[in-house]
Copies of this chain bind each other. A is one copy, B any other.
Amino acid sequence: MGAVAGPEIERLVQLLARLPGLGPRSARRAALHLIKKREALMMPLSGALQVALDKVQVCKTCGNIDTQNPCTICTDPKRDPAIIVVVADVADLWALERANATQGRYHVLGATLSPLDGVGPQDLSIDALVARAHAAEVHEIILALNATVDGQTTAHYITDLLQDANVKVTRLAHGVPVGGELDYLDEGTLSAAMRQRTLF
The chain A residues found within 8 Å of chain B, CB to CB, are 1, 3-6, 8-9, 11-12, 15-16, 18-22, 25-26, 28-35, 37-38, 41-46, 48-53, 55-56, 64-68, 72-73, 89-91, 93-94, 97-98, 183
Known: A22-B22, A42-B49, A53-B43. A32 touches B65 (CB 8 A): yes
Main secondary structure of the interface of A (DSSP, over half): helix
Known: A53-B38, A67-B8. A91 touches B30 (CB 8 A): no
Q: Which of B49, B66, B89 has a CB less than 8 Å from the CB of A45?
A: B49
- Decide: A34 and B48 in contact? CB cutoff 8 A: no
- Decide: B94 and A4 in contact? CB cutoff 8 A: yes
- Decide: B48 and A53 in contact? CB cutoff 8 A: no
How close is A159's CB to chain B, nearest CB, in angstroms?
A: 27
Q: Which of B4, B33, B49, B67 has a CB less than 8 Å from the CB of A19?
A: B33
How close is A17's CB to chain B, nearest CB, in angstroms?
A: 11
**CA–CA, A33 and B35, complex, Å:** 22
How close is A59's CB to chain B, nearest CB, in angstroms?
A: 11
Nearest CB to that of A29 among chain B residues?
B20
- Decide: A73 and B43 in contact? CB cutoff 8 A: no
Residues of B with C-beta under 8 A to A34: 19, 49, 52
**CA–CA, A24 and B4, complex, Å:** 32
